[in-house]
Amino acid sequence: MSNNSFMSSDDIRHEFSMAMSAMYQAEVPLYGDLVDLVTDVNTEVLAAQPDLKAQLERTGEMNRLSMERHGAIRVGTAAELSMMRRLFAVMGMYPVGYYDLAPAGVPVHSTAFRAIDAESLSKSPFRVFTSLLRLDLIGDEALKEDAVAALARRNIFTNTVIELIESFEAQGGLSEQAGQQFVAEALETFRWHDNTPVSKKLYEKLLQQHGLIADVVGFKGPHINHLTPRTLDIDSVQRSMQARGLPPKAIIEGPPKRNCPILLRQTSFKALEEAVRFKNTLADAGQNSHEQGQHTARFGEIEQRGVALTPKGRALYDKLLSDARNQLGVTPNEANASQYYQILEATFAAFPDDYQTLHSKGLAYFYYQPVDNSNTDLQLTSLEMAESKSAIIELIEKNVIRIEPIVYEDFLPVSAAGIFQSNLRDDKQSSYEGNSNQQEFEKALGTHVQDELALYESTQAQSLQNCFVALQKTA
């Protein structure tokens, strides 16, 4: 088969994200309401802020806005994680970043599977935050054995999807027909099952250890636990959620509201209590007398994305966020939400809030785009110019080139922990001892995770090069 007849990974990812969204809307109708709310708010924002609309057009984000979402799953074993990596690779999604959530009391470590180059991202920015349960953090040895045994008994992938993954790897692609079949088969892994493969007794023991452990070990597979559309005004969505019957979590995670959004702000509606039927282990099995129960795991989330930060910008963000949290003294919650926002805003006053300063101080990543080369007396004969920050700033001031923010495509560990926690029935432990273990994670994954900062750096460098090439052509 020639390469031309393969379905592109970007198309497979796009189809998959649409199918996933349709499935989740059918499973969790409130998520459909959230998508409608976000669409309404985005339409209003774009109408009211033509400058923002123009900016999104120049960065290629306008087309992807309505299809933009991320999801999250949790897996239980190294074998599951490594097959998940191979499954996502069929869709052009690769592991980026390492997130250690144990210090925040969530017994997982995670990565995000996503497209990595700017062109693929603009075709479909779908990402999946993927967590591996850390059974090594369970203290109760007997329970740990039961959990390991339960996980060993389950198979979260269909036989057909595994065959399709193998054939993708062998041939370097899938035909259109095989690609469509892949989408349908891969979706099965993320489906919700209300009948569990464990007894109520085991489920409750797992739950007592941690809600997350019950959510992973107690189920047939890694049901998608939320999907997250992207909004242009998260404060407005947060305000309107209650009125649409979507109970919002107490606070918006991440940086405060700003003129120039940075990184990522997130909020969610709280997880539903859902009826489940446990595996019957009673002597009178076979009479359909399943024990009933409730499980809380699935929710809806929204996010507002801003400019990606350089290591220097990120260090400042981390410092200011931790200053604000220390000043509050406790984990932000319903009772102290407005006090927390006040502290957060005051603390972040130290973070420059215009793109020119973010650029000149090297705090954020930008695309460079050609504007007008006609009335410059500058000689743009060599790419050496690109080496000199002051030369670039001069060109920006003379309106020869302009900067546009490179959007942050990743996640934030403190925010992620807040999202996890607000959707668990109770969180007993405030932090786990035990070192961050990226090596263990990568061993389970079967590869290294990519460094997100290197990806932004190279996108920025590439755009500078393209910009100079374009200017030289018109010079």
Whichever of 64 and 298 has its CB closer to ligand OOG, that residue is 298
List, in sequence order, every residue forming a beta bridge with 108; answer none if it has no partner.
Answer: 133
Stretch that binds ligand OOG, among 44-52, 132-140, 188-196, 412-420 (CB under 6 A): 412-420
Instruction: Find which of ligand OOG, Ni ion, none residue 80 binds, CB within 5 to 8 Å per kind.
Output: none
> Of the two residues 224 and 343, which places its CB atom closer to ligand OOG in the complex?
224
Which of ligand OOG, Ni ion, none does residue 415 bind (CB under 5 to 8 Å by kind)?
ligand OOG
Pick between residue 301 and residue 452 the one whose CB is nearest to ligand OOG: 301
Residues 119-158 that bind ligand OOG (CB under 6 A): 129, 131
Closer residue to Ni ion (CB): 209 or 266: 266
Q: Which positions from 297 through 336 interact with ligand OOG, judged by CB under 6 A?
A: 301
Report the residue number, 189 or 415, with the smaller CB distance to ligand OOG: 415
Closest to 138 measured CA to CA, from 206, 54, 41, 185: 206
Q: Which residue's C-beta sits nearest to ligand OOG?
A: 416
CA-based R_g, the chain, Å: 24
Binding partner selected for residue 134 from ligand OOG, Ni ion, none, CB under the kind-specific 5 to 8 Å limit: none
Taking the complex as a whole, how short is the minimal distance between the CB of residue 264 and ligand OOG, in angstroms?
8
C-alpha to C-alpha distance for 369 and 276, rounded to whole angstroms: 54
Q: Is residue 285 within 8 Å of 335, Cβ to Cβ?
A: no
* 225: partner contacted, choices ligand OOG, Ni ion, none (Cβ within 5-8 A by kind): ligand OOG
Q: Is position 421 an interface residue for ligand OOG (rule: CB under 6 A)?
A: no
Query: Measured from the CB atom, is 112 or 138 closer to ligand OOG?
Result: 112
The only residue of 16, 192, 411, 432 in contact with ligand OOG, by rule CB under 6 A: 411
- Amino acid identity at 85: R
Q: Which C-beta is closer to Ni ion: that of 295 or that of 298?
A: 298
| Site for ligand OOG, residues 34 to 93, rule: CB under 6 A | 72, 74
Residue 454 is encoded by which pair of tokens? 């290197």
Residues present in the chain in total:
475
Asked whether 230 and 250 are in contact (CB, 8 A), the reply is no
Contact partner at residue 366 from ligand OOG, Ni ion, none, CB < 5 to 8 Å by partner kind: none
Q: Which is nearer to Ni ion, 21 or 209 (CB)?
A: 21
Segment near ligand OOG (CB under 6 A); pick from 3-11, 28-36, 409-417, 455-463 = 409-417
Looking at 311-319, 334-342, 408-416, 433-441, which segment touches ligand OOG (CB under 6 A)?
A: 408-416
CB atoms within 10 A of CB 377: 5
CB closer to ligand OOG, 131 vs 459: 131
Q: Please, which of residues 204-233 interact with Ni ion by CB under 5 A? A: 228
What is the x/- site pattern for ligand OOG, positions 248-277, by CB under 6 A?
------------------x-----------
Assess 415 for contact with ligand OOG (CB under 6 A): yes
Answer yes or no whether residue 410 interacts with Ni ion by CB under 5 A.
Answer: no
Which residue from 31, 126, 269, 420 is in contact with ligand OOG, where contact means CB under 6 A?
A: 420
For the chain, give the secondary structure using H, E and C.
CCHHHEECHHHHHHHHHHHHHHHHHHHCHHHHHHHHHHHHHHHHHHHHCHHHHHHHHHCCCCCCHHHCEEEEEEECCHHHHHHHHHHHHHCCCEEEEEEECHHHCCCEEEEEEECCCHHHHHHCCCEEEEEEECHHHCCCHHHHHHHHHHHHHCCCCCHHHHHHHHHHHHHCCEEHHHHHHHHHHHHHHCCCCCECCCCHHHHHHHHHHCHHHHHHHCCCCCCCCEEEEECCCHHHHHHHHHHHCCCECCCCECCCCCCCCECEEEEEECCCEEEEECCCCCCCCCCCCCCEEEEECCCEEEEEECECECHHHHHHHHHHHHHHHHHHCCCCCHHHHHHHHHHHHHHHHHCCCCHHHHHHCCCECEEEEECCCCCCCCCCCCHHHHHCHHHHHHHHHCCCEEEEECECCCCCHHHHHHHHHHCCCCCCCCCCCCCCCHHHHHHHHCCCCECHHHHHHHHHHHHHHHHHHHHHHHC
What's the min distance (Å) between Cβ of 408 and ligand OOG?
Answer: 12
Task: Select the binding partner of residue 420 from Ni ion, ligand OOG, none (C-beta < 5 to 8 A, by kind).
Answer: ligand OOG
Give the integer Cα–Cα distance in Å for 207 and 278. 14
The one of ligand OOG, Ni ion, none whose footprint includes residue 207, by CB under 5 to 8 A per kind, is none
Q: Which of residues 296-315 bind Ni ion (CB under 5 A)?
A: 301
For residues 168 and 411, which CB has a smaller minimum distance to ligand OOG in the complex? 411
- Where does this chain touch ligand OOG (CB under 6 A) — which range of 32-40, 233-241, 344-352, 410-418? 410-418
CA 81 to chain CA mean position, Å: 17
- Binding interface with Ni ion (CB under 5 A): 72, 228, 301
- Binding interface with ligand OOG (CB under 6 A): 72, 74, 129, 131, 225, 266, 301, 411, 415-416, 419-420
